[in-house]
Each structure stands twice: as structure tokens, then as C-alpha cells.
Amino acid sequence: MSRHWLLAPFLALGIAAPSAALEVEGRYKATPEADCAGPDDAEGLIRIEDGIFSGIRSRCEMRNPVNVVGMNAQLFDMHCEGENETWTERALFMEGAEGGLILAWNGYAFRYERCPLPSEEPATEETRAEDASPEERPETATD
């Protein structure tokens, strides 16, 4: 009598619980001097939104995501255009150990720092005063 049927519940559990998709959408600094507050097409910024990778003089559709087992990573088929050329390649997107995004593409690996979301940016004196309760607001002189 075969005992392979004993493994069936364990195999089913492994198949029934795929890893969660990697969250890559956002803006990233392709260069250390890139300004996260700049417009989406600013030099040195990469933007990933709605399955589109934009920046570094190219635009790519991120198709056919495949979760990488045991890693917080996904493989994509990248269908790209830029500088009067079109091309298709595979790319690996992975969350960096220290945050940000690791991108492995055609034999090269890059680390991109994620730009903070507008709600995550540090408060200025002006925004702190606006957010303060009436009792906490500084008095202003009136003429």
C-alpha cells in the first residue's frame, strides 16, 4: 500500500497559501541627488504606478507578475519603449533589507530609495501650527 496519500494535506496547504504580492508602486530616487518633491518626469526619479515603470528615459509595462517563493519579490515581463527603441526583458523586483527597492535587470542589480509619501514627509513649522488645536496655536499680533 502506498503512503504518498499522507503527503497530500501538506502539499495542499503549501499550494493553497501563495505569498502576498510585493507592493512596488510609488516614487523612487534613481540617483542620490534626485528631488522627491519634483514633478513625476524629473531627472533621477522613477515612478511605478498602475503596472507602469517610468523613468530613466523609458516607460515599461510590467506584465505577468510571478511571486518568488520564500522571498518578498516578483518577476515581471517588462515591455519597454524609450529613445526610439522597444524591447522586452524579465526583471526581478524585491523589497530591500533596509527598505527601498532592489531591481535586478539584465545582469545588473540596482537599489532605489523610496520617496516618502506626502503624508509621511516631516512637518514644517507652518504645518504644525495649522494642525495644532486652538489652545496650542501661537498667538499672532493683530493691527
Give CA separation, 128 vs 23, 38, 48, 133, 139, in Å: 30, 23, 30, 10, 14
pTM: 0.67
- Within 8 A by CB and 6+ apart from 71, the residues are 94
Grid coordinates representing 47 are 515612478
C-alpha cell at 138: 501661537
The larger pLDDT score, comparing residue 42 to residue 63, is at 63
**Residue 23 contacts by C-beta under 8 Å, 6 or more apart in sequence?**
none
Q: Give the pLDDT confidence of 10-62 residue by residue, as tens digits.
A: 333 333 334 456 889 999 999 999 999 988 888 899 999 999 999 888 999 99
**Planar angle of CA 29, 31, 34, nearest 5 degrees:** 65
Look at residue 136 in the predicted model and tell me its pLDDT. 55
